Amino acid sequence: MDKKEKLWTRHFIFALLITIGVNLACNLLLSTIAIYTKQITQVDSYAGIMTGAFTLAALFIRLIAGKLLDDVGRRKILILGLVITALSTIAYLITDNIYIIILLRILQGFGFGISSTAVATIVTDVTPKSRMLEGIGYSGVGITITTAIGPSIALALVGKNYENFKLLFITTTIVAIITILISLRLSYNENVTKNKLEQDNNKVNMSIKENNDMKNVFAPGIILFLAAVAESTILAFTALYGIELGFNNIGLFFTINALGILASRLFINQIVNKFEINTVLSYGLIIFGASIFGISTVRSMSQLIIFGFLCGVMMGSLLPIINLMILDSVSVNKKGMANAIYYALIDGGYGVGSIIWGKVVIGQGYRSIYEYAGFTLIVAFIIFLFHLMKSKKLVLNKI
**pTM greater than 0.85 (yes/no):** no
Q: Same structural domain for residues 165 and 268?
A: no
Instruction: Provide mean pLDDT across the span 193-200.
Output: 48
Q: How far apart are CA 254 and CA 256, in angstroms?
A: 5
Kindly state whether residues 231 and 294 are assigned to the same domain. yes
State the pLDDT confidence band at 1, using cuts at 50, 70 and 90: very low
Q: Does a structural domain hold residue 75?
A: yes
Confidence of residue 193 (pLDDT cuts 50, 70, 90): low
> Is residue 105 scored above 50 in pLDDT?
yes
Distances (CA, A) of 296 to 128, 227, 236, 237, 351: 41, 17, 15, 12, 21
Q: What is the rounded average pLDDT of the residues 350-355? A: 86
243 with 351, same domain: the answer is: yes
- Indicate whether 343 and 209 sit together in one domain: yes
- Asked whether residue 396 is assigned to any structural domain, the reply reads no
Chosen domain end from 155, 187, 219 = 187
Residue 164 to residue 107: CA distance in whole angstroms: 23
Q: Do 341 and 233 share a structural domain?
A: yes
Mean pLDDT for the chain overall: 87
Let me know if residue 45 belongs to a domain.
yes
CA distance 352 to 373: 13
Q: What are phi and psi of 189, to 5 degrees?
A: -75, 105
Domain that holds residue 64: 1-187
Of 152, 187, 222, which closes a domain?
187
Last residue of a domain, one of 160, 187, 214: 187
Tell me which amino acid residue 131 is: R
The predicted structure's pLDDT at residue 251: 78
Domain annotation covers residue 6: yes
Compare 23 and 5 and report the one with higher pLDDT. 23
Indicate the range of 9-18, 210-219, 223-232 predicted with least confidence. Answer: 210-219
399 found inside a domain: no
Nearest to 342 by CA among 69, 42, 81: 69
Number of folded domains in the chain? 2
Residue 19 pLDDT exceeds 90: yes
* High-pLDDT (> 70) share of the chain, %: 89
Please check the confidence at residue 393 and state whether its pLDDT lies above 70. no
Look at residue 398 and tell me if it is in a domain: no
Q: Left if phi > 0, otherwise alpha if psi is -120 to 50, otherwise beta: which for 380?
A: alpha
Q: Report which of residues 34 and 382 the model is more confident about.
A: 382
Tell me: the pLDDT tens digits for 81-93? 999 999 999 999 9
Same domain, 233 and 308: yes
N-to-C CA span, the chain: 14
Q: Residue 180 maps to which CATH number? A: 1.20.1250.20
Q: What is the mean pLDDT of residues 91-105?
A: 93
Q: Does residue 396 register a pLDDT over 70?
A: no
Determine the Cα–Cα distance for residues 290 and 52; give it in Å rounded to an integer: 30
How much is the pLDDT for 273?
A: 86
In a domain, residue 167? The reply is yes
